[in-house]
């Protein structure tokens, strides 16, 4: 039987550069005043701080010892050597959090542990290894003067009462949690998480609960849904997985209803030019304003961005292509910065570093290539190699990607040994698997 006439996508593509697409996406970040909520410190990881925070105490509160050893007058040990050791009388013991010790007079020492307040009179701490450790009780012999005037951490070196210590927009990392704890915070003012509805589309997709179909060759696993949910969470958002719908315009429109309360909608698949690529058409029938479709990049060129108009509120919609590498890279380049900025994070861009290509990295005429690479940081500069074949339909290499090597449009390939910019993905992996005999990493 002859099939009905083809129903390919007829829209003219915009083919924006990656830079233009990025700035159009970031320009759409809502400028509504920042809201604030309070969460326990233990739940603040990954959130954006909503307020500037000042110290309400001075830390450390007093000068204290940076070493286990003996608090002394620096003058007393100046000139001490193996040949001419100096002996001092030990007049007390100080531990961090312990009882205070007497004043240290010339010719005296106080045994002191790291973090203990420096006793009055002392200005130096001689480390334990440079002494005889009181081989005669009450008397310490010091045989070098390298610590004269050293190993004292001044009071207020960390922060002073009233100092601005953290600024609104800081992303709460484990290091920021340390500072918040040092500020005595039990609760932290943070920006609300953005809710991000994720809709995967495709007749062939199967959730893990229907993996028997995959084994029987009757479907492919929905890897993008869980991947994007994880990526949303890592960007400080709250994923709402709507599951996958078949390639049917009405099914897609129905699912859009479920996304109506989300701050952002991410659709995956059905984004290109085929007959089943009906996501944009479904969106249009629900009141969609397309900003742009198609970017000069690989993977991910069928990416689209626009807004669904919902009761006066424009809901940003990111249309990601379904190939796993395309979905991964377009999330990374466009959705992640949007979520971070809209979620009040000051730092939006990843770090990029210059690395040496450990193998030939392909370029593409008129497209910027984002090659998934693993990074060997034991060389200087670091060396990058592809995570395996770069076909966008493959999922396994994503687990080993430390970075995305950027081969800008118009640059041609990067030859082995040449320098390339690499966007650091901030995910640490176990490194590449042992290659299979055919060069493809084995499972």
> Which residues contact ligand AMP (rule: CB under 6 A)?
200, 202, 204-205, 220, 222-225, 268-272, 274, 277, 321-324, 393
Q: Which does 258 bind (CB under 5 to 8 A by kind): ligand AMP, Mg ion, none?
A: none
Rule CB under 5 A: say whether 300 interacts with Mg ion. no
Q: Which is nearer to ligand AMP, 229 or 361 (CB)?
A: 229
> In angstroms, what is the minimal distance from the CB of 393 to ligand AMP?
5
> In angstroms, what is the minimal distance from the CB of 199 to ligand AMP?
10
Q: Which does 330 bind (CB under 5 to 8 A by kind): ligand AMP, Mg ion, none?
A: none
Rule CB under 5 A: say whether 321 interacts with Mg ion. no
**Could you tell me the two tokens for 94?**
């100080």
> In angstroms, what is the minimal distance from the CB of 218 to Mg ion?
16
The set of residues, in sequence order, having a beta carbon less than 8 Å from that of 307 and lying 6+ positions away, is: 28, 288, 289, 291, 314, 315, 316, 317
396-399 long-range contacts, CB within 8 A, separation 24+: 396/441, 396/443, 397/325, 397/372, 397/441, 398/227, 398/324, 398/325, 398/328, 398/372, 399/429
Query: Strands 403-407 and 419-424: what pairing?
Result: antiparallel
Alpha carbon 420 to chain centroid, angstroms: 21
> In angstroms, what is the minimal distance from the CB of 303 to ligand AMP?
10
Alpha carbon 364 to chain centroid, angstroms: 29
Q: Which is nearer to ligand AMP, 192 or 306 (CB)?
A: 306
Angstrom distance (rounded) from CA 17 to CA 333: 12
Contact window for Mg ion (CB under 5 A) among 50-58, 62-70, 116-124, 195-203: 195-203
Q: Which is nearer to ligand AMP, 398 or 420 (CB)?
A: 398
Listed residue (416, 424, 408, 413) closest to 375, CA to CA: 424
Contact window for Mg ion (CB under 5 A) among 62-70, 83-91, 264-272, 324-332: 264-272
Q: Which does 301 bind (CB under 5 to 8 A by kind): Mg ion, ligand AMP, none?
A: none
Contact window for Mg ion (CB under 5 A) among 2-10, 227-235, 268-276, 414-422: 268-276
In the three-class reduction of DSSP (H, G, I as helix; E, B as strand; rest coil), residue 149 is classed as: coil
Binding residue for Mg ion, selected from 69, 119, 269, 358, defined by CB under 5 A: 269
Q: Which is nearer to ligand AMP, 274 or 441 (CB)?
A: 274
> In angstroms, what is the minimal distance from the CB of 245 to ligand AMP?
11
Q: Which is nearer to Mg ion, 202 or 344 (CB)?
A: 202
CA distances to 137, 386, 388, 435 from 439, in Å: 68, 12, 8, 5
Rule CB under 5 A: say whether 202 interacts with Mg ion. yes
Which single residue is written with the structure tokens 């920021």?
A: 176
Q: Which does 200 bind (CB under 5 to 8 A by kind): Mg ion, ligand AMP, none?
A: ligand AMP
Angstrom distance (rounded) from CA 341 to CA 188: 19
Angstrom distance (rounded) from CA 3 to CA 362: 38
* Residue facing ligand AMP at closest CB distance: 322
Q: Which is nearer to ligand AMP, 169 or 300 (CB)?
A: 300
Q: Containing H/E element for 39?
A: strand 37-40
- For residue 225, the tally of other CB atoms under 10 A from its CB is 23
């Amino acid at each position: 039987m002859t099939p009905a006439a083809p129903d390919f996508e007829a829209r003219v593509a915009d083919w924006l550069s990656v830079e233009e697409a990025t700035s159009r996406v970031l320009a759409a970040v809502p400028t509504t005043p920042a809201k604030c909520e309070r969460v326990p410190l233990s739940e603040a990881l990954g959130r954006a701080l909503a307020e500037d925070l000042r110290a309400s105490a001075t830390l450390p509160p007093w000068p204290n010892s940076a070493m286990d050893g003996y608090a002394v007058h620096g003058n007393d040990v100046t000139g001490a050597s193996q040949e001419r050791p100096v002996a001092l009388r030990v007049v007390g013991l100080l531990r961090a959090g312990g009882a205070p010790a007497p004043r240290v007079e010339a010719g005296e020492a106080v045994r002191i542990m790291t973090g203990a307040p420096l006793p009055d009179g002392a200005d130096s701490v001689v480390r334990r290894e440079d002494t005889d450790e009181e081989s005669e009780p009450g008397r310490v012999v010091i045989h070098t003067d390298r610590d004269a005037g050293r190993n004292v951490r001044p009071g207020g070196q960390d922060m002073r009462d009233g100092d601005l210590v953290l600024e609104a927009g800081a992303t709460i990392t484990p290091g920021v949690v340390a500072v918040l704890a040092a500020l005595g915070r039990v609760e932290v003012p943070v920006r609300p998480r953005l809710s991000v509805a994720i809709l995967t589309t495709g007749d062939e997709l199967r959730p893990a609960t229907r993996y028997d179909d995959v084994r029987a060759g009757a479907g492919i696993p929905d890897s993008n849904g869980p991947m994007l949910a994880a990526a949303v969470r890592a960007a400080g958002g709250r994923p709402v997985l709507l599951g996958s719908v078949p390639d049917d315009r009405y099914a897609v429109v129905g699912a859009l209803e479920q996304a109506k309360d989300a701050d952002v909608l991410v659709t995956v698949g059905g984004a290109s030019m085929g007959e089943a690529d009906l996501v944009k058409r479904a969106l249009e029938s629900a009141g969609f304003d397309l900003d742009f479709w198609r970017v000069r990049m690989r993977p991910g060129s069928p990416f689209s961005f626009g807004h669904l108009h919902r009761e006066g509120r424009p809901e940003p919609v990111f249309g990601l292509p379904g190939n796993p590498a395309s979905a991964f890279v377009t999330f990374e380049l466009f959705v992640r910065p949007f979520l971070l900025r809209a979620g009040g994070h000051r730092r939006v861009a990843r770090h990029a570093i210059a690395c040496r290509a450990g193998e030939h990295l392909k370029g593409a005429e008129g497209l910027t290539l984002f090659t998934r690479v693993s990074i060997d940081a034991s060389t200087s500069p670091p060396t990058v190699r592809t995570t395996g074949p770069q076909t966008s339909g493959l999922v396994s290499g994503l687990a080993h990607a430390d970075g995305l090597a950027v081969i800008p449009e118009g640059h041609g390939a990067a030859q082995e040994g040449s320098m390339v910019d690499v966007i650091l993905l901030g995910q640490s992996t176990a490194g590449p698997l042992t290659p299979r005999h055919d060069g493809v990493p084995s499972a």
